[in-house]
Amino acid sequence: MDAVTSTKTSSQEVPNAECPFWQYVTKVEKPPSATRQEGSDSTNPVDGKRRKVTGISPIEKAFQNTARHELDSRIVRMFYTGGLPFNFARNPYYRNSYAYDATHSIPSYVPLGYNALRTTLLQKERAHVERLLKPIKDSWLENGVSIVFNRWSDPQRRPLINIMAVSNGGPVFIKAINGSGEFKDKHYIAGVLKDAIKEIGHEKVVQVITDNANVMKSIGALIEGEYPKIFWTPCVVHTLNLALKNICAAKNTEKNEVTYEECSWITRIANDASFIRVFIMNHSMRLAMFNEFSPLKLLQVADTRFASIVVMLKRLKLIKRCLQAMAISEQWASYREDDVGKALKVKDMILSDLWWDKVDYILEFTTPIYDMLQVADTDKPYFHLMYEMWDSMIEKVKAAICQHEGLKDDEYSSFWSVVYDILIDRWTKNCTPLHCLAHSLNPKYYSIEWLSKNPKRISPHRDHEISIERSKCLDRYFEDESELKVVKFEFAAFSEGGFLHQLP
């Protein structure tokens, strides 16, 4: 077989030697010019296809597809080799930097170096951020600002203290302090807060917000002693979380016997839920079964997270049907390599209607507390609503418990009595004269619409407890007697309806 016939494929017949295309194949070793000289027609479509340019087309040149693909490759290598998270691609500054480069011709541009990023450019960016924050900081003198104190530990277990300034303009980070090697008693923490007050300006600060640790009350007294016009306020989110812990994780102590007796069933349900989660998560085969039946994952909620028990029960409630389908499946019954006793216990709880009824009950009466916690755990200003939100939340919890127990509003419930005492005790520790003043200055609570929704509601200026706390607050703000008298006269005019003509 010669070289020409060897070019045919197995599915083709040998072409006719007289065919023009066959002549082209046999003469392909000749240069194109020689082919044309032998009389080939330049308009022949086959000849035109032979002469087609194999380089980059004009369209590809116009859109620079090759360069685009090469740039994509270099960018993804940066992500992969640097261990950058893919979520970084959603950073608007990442996208804007490439967009700016595409629209501006910057010859010989050299990417940023290590030293420039950590020195001069860092200082320049800080100055830029300070310029952006200046309008917010300028408003602090007129509108006031709250200092927020927060303690936490980083992955290296270093004790850090964050200082934030919060106002209507939004939260502003002030500084972070490494407390390693420091004995963090009341004097040390009070010194940190006083330094922050001096840095911001004591005349701008309205309150200092901290957690509810026992030492913080003493620290608040030290701050208020030096700055009488600055109030110490416990964090309402932390207060609500502690209330949930007192109810859902009651401890058996001498002082807490009654509470433990009434609330221990909640602790058992929470422990059962944790047992289910741990059993599934710690057995790879059980976890594989669970993943087949449920599109949602089991949450591993840290104890330090707010409302951790409620969050865990809410997730179990969402995946209830999936858990039950898994427990009655053939895979669950056929797998015998782990602890059979624990597996049977988990299955019995998952399939128990009584157990799920208790979960439902816990979620019913804790939902008002959890909802208020979520509202308060934001950057939006809710301080002027906190007093009324506490009252409303307590009433909703009572309604949920009475409805479940089939009791009327005036009938006694030992469980509600314990829950009520916990909520009132926490609210008493959280409420300050500043809450009462903010509540008194909200026109909403004088409106007929708000008062008519509940016959027990009264306007703030007619509430004896609120009036006493409001007067304490005004006495601290206005030391001059004549000035205080004018302020009280203006408040009286406001509370008696002088503001109504300004409302829509």
Can you give the residue ranges of every domain in the chain?
5-38, 53-107, 143-234
Describe the strand order of the beta sheet including 231-234 as a list of residue ranges.
170-178, 159-167, 145-153, 205-210, 231-234
How much is the average pLDDT of 459-485? 93
Between 310 and 30, the more confident residue is 310
Percent of the chain with pLDDT over 90: 62
Q: Determine the pLDDT at residue 10.
A: 44
How much is the average pLDDT of 79-83? 93
Q: Which residues of 132-153 are buried (b: 16+ CB within 10 A; e: fewer)?
A: eeeebbeebeeeebbbbbeeee
Q: If DSSP codes are grouped into helix, strand and coil, which group holds residue 176? A: strand
Q: Determine the pLDDT at residue 363.
A: 96
pLDDT tens-place string over residues 351-409: 999 999 999 999 999 999 999 999 998 888 889 999 999 999 999 999 999 999 998 87
**pLDDT above 60: residue 28:** no
Task: State how far the alpha carbon of 406 is from the alpha carbons of 56, 353, 403, 413, 454, in Å.
Answer: 81, 20, 5, 10, 22
pLDDT tens-place string over residues 239-294: 999 999 999 988 888 788 899 999 999 999 999 999 999 999 988 889 999 999 99
- The pTM assigned to this predicted structure is 0.78
How much is the average pLDDT of 214-238? 93
- Smallest Cα–Cα separation from 248: which of 429, 430, 418, 431? 418
**pLDDT above 70: residue 48:** no
Q: Determine the pLDDT at residue 61.
A: 61
How many whole angstroms separate alpha carbon 249 and alpha carbon 243? 10
The tokens describing 304, both together, are 């330090």
Fold of the CATH domain 143-234: Nucleotidyltransferase; domain 5 (3.30.420)
**pLDDT above 90: residue 107:** no
Mean pLDDT of the chain: 85
pLDDT tens-place string over residues 161-181: 999 999 988 899 999 999 888
How many whole angstroms separate alpha carbon 362 and alpha carbon 270? 10
